[in-house]
Structure 1
Amino acid sequence: MAHIESAKSPSSLTLSPRERLLRKINDESDLPTLGAAIAKVVEITSSGEDSVSKLAHFILADVGLTQKILRLSNTVQYRTTSGAAVTTISRSIFLLGFDTVKTSAMAMLLVDFFKDKAQAVSVRKELVRSLCASIIGREMSQRGRFPDGEEAAVAALFKNIGRVLVASFDHQLYSQIQKVSEGAESTSDEASLLLLGCSFERFGEMALQEWKIPDAIVQSMGPLANGEQKKVTHRNDWLKQVASFSDSLADLVMSGKHKSPGYANVLLKKFGKALEIDLKTMDAMLVRVEAETLQLAKSMNISLAMDNPELDELHHTSALPSEFLMKSEELVSAQESDRYPSGKPLNARDLLLAGVQDVTQMLASEDLRLSDLILLVLETLYTSMGFRFATVCLRDLASGRYVSRVAVGEKYADRQKGFGFPAKAEADLFHLSMSNNVDVMISDATVPKILTLLPLWHRELLPDARSFIILPLVIQKKPLGLFYADRTVTAEEGVPADETALIKTLKSQLLAAMMRGG
């Protein structure tokens, strides 16, 4: 970001509007925190087997973000294909798609940060424009000819961040720019250049540079040459074209001009050949874009009716009539349900059953990856039973140890590093569980008989564990590893027979997949 003067600098009266606003954002906001969170999501790419796990970990670490993603997963837009309630982030990623969840998470981070500002109407309008543009960008990425095209959705999301920042931190300046651009022959860019000292896009570019967003995304916010765009050979140039097109089309949607005849003439003349898009394609895309914008905004509690009544109509026109949809039981998520004193949800059985259904559907998929299935089972146990930490520990032949492969929950990264023990049989609870292939469910770990069976490494790593489960993974009498999950309080309610049966079913489903996968 441009240099911001220190406290010893000249009076703010001598600063330009742009410098004054940059100082205000730097001094009065948590934007560095927001930027770090967004940069973390951007880092999570779809390459590598652990990308789904990393994204799930990031979302699960934020209860509010978890609830919003689950709410989005359970909207009509996505529920029509499955009919079953979605209760885990793993299933959300599998159902919505990795890129959809990644972009939605970034959009939700932006909305959570900016939505409560005093200038609610203006900020909400600009945020929804950003959301809409990101959805258009994702649609375009599916048509793109470049690898890792999902970055187009991220670029489109940030294309409007300059307007969001100005509306949030200097609403008077934002209103003046809007007034000048609407009441004269000047464009919005000309008005912002006159009153702000730079374009909205340039101002947003400065913020993204401060957030350490990748250069390809930052460069995509730059202006395009006037006139008809040509096909490009470099991916970064294509990202810039898609971001500009997506933002321009989102602007038409927000204003309602996309419903007017000939709405697309200017855009198609400029971008049609370069992005290989025609009117028929654009019309079909807008049906999906409008519906998803509505659903995404509703999942984030943004009301569109007062600012954008044309979008509210989509609830009646773009979605199937409710009487045609399969009815499914609404399931309260683990984060929102009532709980026992131990933290275990009262509806644990229903959540476990939903998890079994999720695993069944994933097993039937041609895109099944064992690592994704393991994460889904682990997350189901973690959320359904109200554990604070859960991990899957598998045998490593090279080191002759059982080591944690995946973990979720409180301080999962640090605890995962320390969770491991020798494969050589010892007389402790973990080896006894695997050698006898017995599921262990401990309600009170302080009982002397239990304490004597806990190995030293466990007592040192998790000294405050008061209730836990150990589920051995054994195939043909050969121990492969185990599931472990714990709480810091005793669980006097125990685990009734119906919940135990569902937990065993989850484990059996995973073992079947492991045998099938060789």
Structure 2
Amino acid sequence: MKRDMEPQSSLDAWLELIRRQDMPIFDQTVQRIIALSSDDRAPMSDLADVILHDSSMTARVLKLANSILYNPSTNGINTITRAVIVLGFNAVRNICLTLTLIDTLVQGAAKERLGRELGRAMHAAVQARSLAAARGDKSPEEVFIATLLYRIGELAFWCFGGEQADRVEQLASQQGLTQEQAQERVLGFRLSQLSRQLVQEWHLSQLLQDATQYPTRQDPRIQNVMLGHQIARCAEEHGWQSDAMSKLFTKAAKLAELSPEKTKALLLQKARAAIDVATDFGAAFAAPHIPQPYPETAVPEAARSADSSAPAATASLAEASNRDPEFQAKVLRELSAVLEGSACSFNVIMELVLEGIFRGVGVDRVVFALTTPDKSVIKAKYALGADDDALSERFAFKRPSRGQDVLFQTLDHKHPYLVESTTRPADAAISERLTELTKATAFMVAPIVVENRSIGLFYADRSLTNRPLDAASFDDFKHFVHQASMGLTRASVRRHQ
């Protein structure tokens, strides 16, 4: 490219250069993920299937899904399907896009200027996401990715710019020009124009397109994106104790509808969290460029505990909530899509039903157990809850030699039960071992029936939080178990066709 090119032709030349650099939009996995995200009818399982075909992406998505940013509770996420259900379609989509973006940048000439630019973008995105969550935004993840990619043209330029990138840097440092002025002198256009063109060409989120086109629009989501960048840039250029930053604290408090004290504590805490986020995403080279307000040994208590006032922070048992009809409907729609699809996966059905009971019905623990062919033993196969590993390992029972046990009666009679301290099935005992293992004064149990045979059961309780089980929760529980039976029956019939 020559210096005397017309600005528009120079911009077109740069667009063509980036098209040839295997930027994220041209990655096959990301292309398929973006295509799915534009289809409102696409089931979550389709997204999981795309990711599972990329083993490297699968491992990294699971690592991030279990990071403090996405999963502050102690309940591990060990499958892609569960990651999509728990974190949401948009969050997993954005994780994939971010991972691929950083992979591309790391493969380029990762110079000092790229590290600073990426560090600022990651810091801005984390700050914007935290403020979006604090004000109850419908999708903090969309705000995160829009903020991260807001300066995608700058990121691409510093990665692939070569000699022209060196010239821009020299002009800005030696002749007292701003970065924008240096860009115009060397390139004939500003990199913000390149960002706008790339965002439009790649058909990224509407929020990102609006933010690059109308950055001053008085829309809280756009202002959220812009404020994230203003905070990151001010921390870099003026520091956390500057008057300019104090004004941004006030602006952020107004946007998030938090007190000035809580807002400041939140932003200071997120500055430190941004380092971990950058490292988790594979951008460790950018982490040193994220300005920190305090040395590691001198973090104020208010900043350390800022997440306690943020909606995203949860205690280990907070994940167990009350009934959530909206989440139930979401999982049931996904189940319907899976059942109507050509492939009816046992594992996918079980994960969806477990998640629907755990989060939608709102229980503390849920177990899916299978029985042996002679129905003499019941053994857990999957479990969800704070102590899921221990429960899954120890939930194993032998049929009593005499009398009837509530678990085996559930299998034999193909009948669900809500067992409370004052009510239990006639002629059915609750074994001491079950009581010792679950410590549940009340629990729900229902059989899985496939082609008129009981193959296992679901067990659920709220014993960890001591919340009662009511008739509505029991009805929801039975409905999810019935859906599991239907799905497995359909899968069995298809296998025999």
TM-score range (shorter-chain normalised) is 0.5 to 0.7
Match of 1:176, SS?
helix
- Cα deviations by residue, 1:45-100 (Å, 9 ceiling, x for unpaired): 8987x664444334333322222222223445667631x54322344456656654
Aligned match of 2:402: none
Which of 434, 454, 458 is 1:508 aligned to?
458
SS in 1 for 2:189: coil
The equivalent position to 2:289 in structure 1, one of 308, 317, 320, is 308
2:191 corresponding residue in structure 1: 200
AA of the residue aligned to 1:57: D
Write the distance in 2 (CA, Å) between the matches of 1:118 and 1:203.
19
Q: Structure 1, residues 463-514: CA drift from partner, whole Å, max 9, x if none?
A: xxxxxxxxx9x955884589xxxxxxxxxxxxxxxxxxxxx88x6359x975
User: CA, structure 1 residues 56+29, in 2 after alignment: closer, same or farther (shift >3 Å)?
Assistant: closer
Match status 1:172 vs 2:166 = no
Corresponding position: 1:240 with 2:192: no
Higher helix share: 2
How far residue 165 of structure 1 moved from its aligned partner, in angstroms, is 0.8
Q: CA deviation at 1:201?
A: 1.7
Which residue of structure 2 lines up, in the alignment, with residue 22 of structure 1? 15
- In structure 2, distance between residues paired with 1:46 and 1:148: 17
1:73 counterpart letter in structure 2: A
- Seen in structure 2, the aligned counterparts of structure 1 residues 366 and 74 have a Cα distance that, compared at 3 Å, is same
Please give the per-residue CA displacement for 1:111-170, whole angstroms capped at 9, x wherever unaligned. Answer: 122212123443333223222222222223235577556532232121111111101111
What is the total number of aligned residue pairs between the two structures? 363
- 1:59-458 maps to which residues of 2 (within 5 A)? 59-75=51-67, 81-82=73-74, 85-93=76-84, 99-144=90-135, 150-222=141-213, 224=215, 232=218, 237-253=219-235, 255=236, 257-265=238-246, 267=248, 279-304=260-285, 307-308=288-289, 310-311=291-292, 366-367=323-324, 369=327, 394=339, 404=343
Q: Give, in whole Å, the separation in 2 of the partners of 1:239 and 1:29.
A: 30
**How far did 1:297 drift?**
1.7
Identity across the alignment (%):
16
Look up the equivalent residue of 1:289 and give its one-letter code: K
Letter in 1 for 2:233: D
Superposed CA deviations along residues 166-223 of structure 1, whole A, max 9, x for unmatched, are 0111133233323333444533222222322222221011112221224442231136
Give the letter aligned to residue 189 of structure 2: C
Structure-2 separation of matches of 1:182 and 1:71: 40
1:476-495 maps to which residues of 2 (within 5 A)? 476=415, 479=449
Matched AA of 2:234? L
Residue 246 of structure 1 aligns to a residue whose secondary structure is helix
Separation (CA, whole Å) in 1 of partners of 2:28 and 2:223: 24
Residue 293 (structure 1) shift: 1.7
Q: TM-score, normalised by structure 2?
A: 0.56
* Alpha carbons of structure 1 residues 291 and 437: separation in structure 2 relative to 1, 3 Å: farther
CA contact (8 A) 1:294 1:311 kept: no
Query: For structure 1, which segment, 285-294 or 154-163, has the greater mean C-alpha deviation from structure 2 after superposition?
Result: 285-294
* 5+ long unaligned stretches in structure 1: 1-9, 321-357, 379-390, 397-401, 410-432, 440-471, 483-503
Q: Using a 3 Å threshold, how does the CA distance of structure 1 residues 29 and 104 change in structure 2: closer, same or farther?
A: closer
Partner letter of residue 228 of structure 2?
S
Q: Deviations over 1:357-410 (max 9, x none)?
A: x9x99777644856887999x9xxxxxxxxxxxx9975x8xxxxx97456889x
Q: Give distance in 2, aligned partners of 1:168 and 1:162.
A: 10
With over 3 angstroms needed to count, the CA separation of the structure-2 counterparts of 1:223 and 1:279, relative to structure 1, is farther
CA contact (8 A) 2:249 2:263 kept: no
- The letter of the residue matching 2:51 is I
Pairwise CA RMSD of aligned residues? Answer: 5.2
Distance 1:17 1:162 in 2: 14
Moved more, 98-107 or 306-315: 306-315
Residue segments in structure 2 that go unaligned for 5+ positions in a row: 302-315, 349-370, 378-410, 416-446, 461-473, 483-497
Whole-Å separation in 1 of the counterparts to 2:139 and 2:253: 22
Q: What is the distance in 2 between the residues matched to 1:36 and 1:296?
A: 22
